[in-house]
Amino acid sequence: MKFRAGDWVDVRTKEEILSSLDKNGRLNELPFMPQMFQYCGQRFKVFKRAHKTCDTVNQTGGRRLQNAVHLDLRCDGEAYGGCQAACLIFWKIAWLKPIGSTSRPSEAPSQSPTGTDQEAGCTEADVWAGTQNRKSHDDGETRYVCQATQLPDFTTLLPWWNIAQYFEDFTSGNTTIGRMIRGFIFAGFFNLSQLGIGLGRPFRWLYDRFQAFFGGIPYPRYKGRIPAEQSTPTCNLNLQPGEFVRAKSYKEILATLDSDCKNRGLYFDAEHVPYCGGVYRVRSRVNKHIDEKTGKLKTLKNASVILEGAWCQARYSDCRMFCPRSIYSWWREVWLERVSEDSFGSTKTRGNVPNCLESE
């Protein structure tokens, strides 16, 4: 069964899901995480079909996976040291069912290295135990295990030239023909500009003129204005969840980035650019997150914020176009300005509160 974006599904009961898992709390190496239990027996809409994803562990590009979707549900991080990345959760089709269905889970647990089915009877305690790597480590730090850290284990390499993936992007309802055409236009301009034959500047200029004519987004991969050896500016707005902010213009943000497109070590990605100039509500602050390669909980030197609805759309992502994973972008406060909401729900710059409490 292949659900499409927008379909409604029921999450199976806890007992049904546990029966599909191996003793490590996984189905075909995809972990079922403890916070997912709270959604058992409830009904949700499919956000996107997770037929592919991006490799944030080994940076190999696009990855293929089978029989999975994303519901509009994100990890709360409580089982992982309070990680604040708010990743979209992967759901195996076996953990879901069409509305009104009484069928049992159809997928079997993974096989052990010996080729026999792993011992049945996974418990909730097993799922919790599976959140940490119990192997001894010399540094004594906890290594967390979640869907993000295990992504290479439950996916396979998906080359960008595999045309079938783009057909499924459309037929699944994940994206539209218009969005795909715009993505391929950008990819064409970008690849031509990278040939090293002096076409970069004229192609970027042409792309900007083309986008301006159709009211589109300018070329999203310009370099920052500050030399790499110089420090970049900072700003402390002390933004809190629920507040409204306006993302500064792309030109203003470029002035805060070094030539590697970083501000205090945080990369401003091309996927940030579509949100420049828009007004958003602050979803949360980000002070700590799981390093997906090591499983360690990392603390940020400079806190950032997540904005509601501002996630990676994979419009400009090299070798992983139209990835449905929708990872939240992180924003430095120097890239934002505080605004207030009036009684009609519109927004305006807040004049009685300074937008920068501290900068350098």
Q: Check pLDDT > 50 for residue 114.
A: no
**Distance in angstroms (rounded) separating the CA atoms of residues 218 and 224:** 15
Q: Which residues pair with 88 in a beta bridge?
A: 74
The mean per-residue pLDDT over the stretch 115-130 comes to 76
Q: Check pLDDT > 50 for residue 135.
A: yes
What pLDDT score was predicted for residue 351?
44
Q: Check pLDDT > 70 for residue 33.
A: yes
Q: Check pLDDT > 50 for residue 190.
A: yes
The mean per-residue pLDDT over the stretch 187-205 comes to 85
For the chain, the average pLDDT equals 90
285 by DSSP, 3-state: which? Answer: strand
345 — pLDDT class (breaks 50, 70, 90): low
The mean per-residue pLDDT over the stretch 323-329 comes to 97
Nearest 5°: phi and psi at 60? -90, 0
Query: With 0-12 CB in 10 A as exposed, 13-18 as middle and 19+ as buried, what is 336?
Result: buried
The mean per-residue pLDDT over the stretch 151-179 comes to 96
Nearest 5°: phi and psi at 20? -90, -10
What pLDDT score was predicted for residue 214?
87
What pLDDT score was predicted for residue 35?
97
What is the tens place of the pLDDT at every residue in 300-321? Answer: 988 899 999 999 999 998 888 9
Q: Check pLDDT > 90 for residue 297.
A: yes
Q: Check pLDDT > 80 for residue 288.
A: yes
What pLDDT score was predicted for residue 91?
98
353 — pLDDT class (breaks 50, 70, 90): very low
The mean per-residue pLDDT over the stretch 266-289 comes to 97
Q: Check pLDDT > 70 for residue 356.
A: no
For 216-271, the DSSP string reads -PPPS-PPPSB-TTSPPP-B-----TT-EEEEPPHHHHHTT-BTTSEETTEE--GG
pLDDT exceeding 70 applies to what percent of the chain? 88
What pLDDT score was predicted for residue 343?
36
Question: Would you kindly state where each structural domain of the chain is located, as residue ranges?
Answer: 8-98+121-157, 175-219, 222-349
The mean per-residue pLDDT over the stretch 164-191 comes to 94
CA atoms within 13 A on the CB side of 172: 26
Q: Which CATH class is domain 222-349?
A: mainly beta
Q: Check pLDDT > 50 for residue 352.
A: no
Number of C-beta neighbours around residue 278 at 10 A: 12
What pLDDT score was predicted for residue 348?
53
Q: What kind and span of H or E run contains 288?
A: strand 279-290
Query: With 0-12 CB in 10 A as exposed, 13-18 as middle and 19+ as buried, what is 332?
Result: buried
In degrees to the nearest 10, what's the CA dihedral of 114, 68, 320, 80?
A: -80
**Distance in angstroms (rounded) separating the CA atoms of residues 133 and 129:** 9
Is 104 in contact with 16 (CB distance < 8 Å)?
yes
**Distance in angstroms (rounded) separating the CA atoms of residues 119 and 115:** 12
